[in-house]
Structure 1
Amino acid sequence: MRKTLRQLGVDTGYLLSMFFIALPAFIISIVGFFLGLGTAVIWIGVPIAAATLFAMRGMAAAGRAQLPFVLRRDVARPRYKQAREGSSGLRRYLTVLTDGQSWLNLLWAVAVFPVAIAGFVITVVWWCATAATLLYPLYAWIIDAAVGPNNDDGLHYATEWLGWGTSYFASSVLAVIGGVIMALLIVPVLRGMAMAEALIGKGMLTSISGLHERIDQLAESRDAATSAEADALRRIERDIHDGPQQRLVSLGMELARVRRQLAVNPEAAQETLDSAISQTRETIDELRVLSRGIAPPILTDRGLEAALAALTARSLVPVELETDLNGRYRAAVESTVYFVTAECLTNVAKHSQATKATVSVEDWGDRLVLSVGDNGVGGAHVSKGHGLSGLADRVKAVEGQWTVDSPDGGPTVIVVEVPC
């Protein structure tokens, strides 16, 4: 109830204030546009049109500032076209004429004006009529005393038609009933008018800037994906160089020594061969571990749920797994959730000193929500050089969001939301 009343106050204030923004905006836009158009042949109209567009930026900013309160969400800020560095003052002044958003501001002033008039009138009339009917019993006796009890107003005709008579009490009851009905309808009526005005503003004042922000987000996602891929390749290259490659070099040396020992000391050759076989097994194990960071076959063949079950079963720390998934998802979504889980569990085993961990994945319709927690010492963060440093880029690459809650002393909870 409190939220509804607060929104009613916001909508009422918006509808009333927008009239005083839309009126001067309409006058400036119409007068400035046609004056500039009419005098363009003698070039006076060009700076007049530019001045009109600059003035409309201020009016549009006033209208845009109120949109978040009505729409209940933030709106994109405009990005006006700028002249190149080193341009003359005249060139910078006239650049506004080639800016699409500036012309949309002008069109918004024309389109919103009739809606603003209707919204202002409906708001004032509805509030006054509601207050007048609800308070009718408090002041109607004054009217009766001034003009007599048998005055021919609409309420007396209505009560007589209903068979209630023409008494003061009957008129008061009918007025209060009408006031209650209007009070119940005031919220949807004013909300509808406010949304109509706000959507016109959103479409004309923020659409281009919203598109620019979306392009920036996609560029950030692309850069994050590239960075995450490059980091993964460098890590795999480093791990192969420091692990299997060194073991294979050592294995080659061991096999060369076996060949030399076979002729002179078969027993020593047998021992060396046993050692080489042991190194071969260790190298295979290392390669298997590295392959999990590239593309686990179980994820491709059987899906995310089976891959997470296999991943948590291999964890060095006992893991409680809960999943609520609906079939298969896009490859990028499944791989992101899988590798983020793998990275989190690796850090749990290396740094957290935890005795147990939990992994939960739920399908919320438009996104998958992954939660990884442990009962360790906490203190996890994503600065460079720490285990979670690559997680941010991997999540950003699929336009996801994530949070880390890891106070000193624990516990640690990491929540990742991936659009699906």
Structure 2
Amino acid sequence: MAMEYGQGYGLDVPERHRLPAGLRAPFEARHWRELIYVLIGLPISIVLFTYSVTMVSLGAGLLVTFLGIPVMAAGLAGCRGFGALERARARGLLDLEVADPEPLRIRKQGFLAWMGAVLKSGASWRALLYSVLHLPWATFSFTVAVTFWSIGWGLLTYPLWFWLFPLYGGQDGMQLYGDETHSVYLDNAFEITVTALVGLLFTLATPWIVRALTTVDRLLVHGLLGPSRLATRVVELESDRGVVVDTAAADLRRIERDLHDGAQARLVALAMDLGLAKEKLAEDPQAAARMVDEAHGEVKIALQELRDLARGIHPAVLTDRGLDAALSSVASRCTVPVEVQVDLDERPVPAIEGIAYFTVSELLQNISKHSRATWAAVDVWRVENRLMLQVVDNGVGGADTTAGSGLAGLTERLDAVDGILVVDSPVGGPTRITAELPWRTV
């Protein structure tokens, strides 16, 4: 694994504004996009509600005949199409990225198979539920948004158009109160100014009210028109299974390569040397003895290579004595002093224990190769149902999961077993890498 140290991060400098957010909000593009979303949401919801209720009611009424099923399926399919439209509308106006729901699982060709897939799909029924629930909400949000927006801008601009009342309306100004005996008009400078200030308050509050309204829309779109949690989890498990298979295949190729290029090649050369020594045994015993002595040295090297290879597959000390002894052993081979602290009352399952061992082992190898550290520490502990690992060093920092393939590959391996890898490594150090693994016991 190769970890990249000493690389800087690209920092996005936030744009500075002279006006505070509360004052510039009514003029920002985001507010107008959200307002447009609310305004066009009502007519779309009316069409969607009418279509879905009509089709589903008609289909349910015709279920006594065969026509009810295709009508119901067509209604649900239409709701899925409206769902795609709503996701696109939310993406364009609310900057909300919602993945498409799980596709229809059509096992056979034909119209009957398609109808069955539509009726069995949870995404179809969630789209129908969205079409029913969104109309009352769209009506409410449309009413609130239009009311606040029109009152705010109307009162704010009142000083510009109040002259229309005495000129064309036959009254001094906008009527604030009136009955048979008394009327109050906003017609003097003080009242006009106060009216404009009230309009300013409404105008400044409108963007935040509209944003709160669209927050509910975001939840509806995300929760009902996106993939279900179960479908998302299935996709994650399929991806994790692929990572596990690829990792296992890569490990097998590495073991095969190490055997072929290391111990196997050395044993082949050893067999040839012993064959030559056997031929020279009668003619030149001294030369044969030297060749046997050299072969003896080769045997020791081959045995050491096999031990290293076996340790790389699964160290015996981990199986026999657990993480504490195994991590102390791997820490002793690091080029910098390493403090190891393992606080576990019991051992996790061998699979999790092995992943924890190799995670720490690879991180310590990278400290030796890249960090230029003079000190490192390894802490292992348990928090409820999670096994926590933390490796710290005082090196140059700059480790990043995107800078090199090492940490990215380690992240994928941990993710395959519902683990997490968190890297905190500012340029200049120190580096703190924390891993979480699920705690599972035998």
TM-score for the superposition, normalised by structure 1: 0.67
Q: Which of 76, 83, 100 is 2:99 aligned to?
A: 76
* Matched position secondary structure for 2:87: helix
Indicate whether 1:25 and 2:48 are aligned. Answer: yes
2:294 maps to what in 1? 275
Indicate whether 1:398 and 2:421 are aligned. Answer: no
Counterpart code for 1:28: Y
Distance 1:282 1:23 in 2: 80
Which string of whole-angstrom CA distances, capped at 9 and with x for unpartnered residues, describes residues 99-127 of structure 1? 32212211111111111111111111111
Instruction: Tell me if structure 1 keeps the 8 A contact 2:162–2:173.
Output: no
In structure 2, the CA distance between the partners of 1:16 and 1:281, relative to structure 1 (3 Å rule), is same
Q: CA deviation at 1:334?
A: 6.7
1:103 maps to what in 2? 125
Distance 2:364 2:98 in 1: 34
Indicate whether 1:237 and 2:256 are aligned. Answer: yes
Q: CA deviation at 1:77?
A: 0.6
Distance 1:372 1:35 in 2: 61
Indicate whether 1:212 and 2:228 are aligned. Answer: no
Unaligned residue ranges in structure 1 (runs of 5+): 315-320, 322-326, 349-355, 374-379, 382-387, 403-415
Indicate whether 1:228 and 2:247 are aligned. Answer: yes
Kindly tell me the number of residue pairs found equivalent between the two proteins.
366
1:324 maps to what in 2? none
Counterpart code for 2:136: P
Distance 2:157 2:25 in 1: 25
Q: Which of 186, 197, 203 is 1:183 aligned to?
A: 203
Distance 2:210 2:144 in 1: 8
TM-score for the superposition, normalised by structure 2: 0.64
- Give the number of the structure with larger relative contact order, counting CA–CA contacts within 8 Å between residues 6 or more apart: 2
Q: Matched residues, percent identical?
A: 27
Indicate whether 1:16 and 2:29 are aligned. Answer: no
Distance 1:309 1:68 in 2: 54
Unaligned residue ranges in structure 2 (runs of 5+): 1-20, 378-387, 392-396, 422-432, 438-442
Indicate whether 1:139 and 2:161 are aligned. Answer: yes
2:151 maps to what in 1? 129
RMSD between superposed Cα atoms in Å: 5.2
Which string of whole-angstrom CA distances, capped at 9 and with x for unpartnered residues, describes residues 50-84 of structure 1? 22222222222211223335664521212342543
1:39 maps to what in 2? 62
Instruction: Tell me if structure 2 keeps the 8 A contact 1:70–1:195.
Output: no
Which string of whole-angstrom CA distances, capped at 9 and with x for unpartnered residues, describes residues 133-157 of structure 1? 21111112322444343774259xx
Distance 1:256 1:339 in 2: 41
Instruction: Tell me if structure 1 keeps the 8 A contact 2:34–2:94.
Output: no
Indicate whether 1:171 and 2:187 are aligned. Answer: no
- Would you tell me which structure has more helix in proportion to its own residues? 1
In structure 2, the CA distance between the partners of 1:333 and 1:69, relative to structure 1 (3 Å rule), is farther
In structure 2, the CA distance between the partners of 1:118 and 1:337, relative to structure 1 (3 Å rule), is farther
In structure 2, the CA distance between the partners of 1:307 and 1:138, relative to structure 1 (3 Å rule), is farther
Counterpart code for 2:298: Q
Q: CA deviation at 1:13?
A: 1.8
Instruction: Tell me if structure 2 keeps the 8 A contact 1:80–1:102.
Output: no
Instruction: Tell me if structure 2 keeps the 8 A contact 1:225–1:394.
Output: no
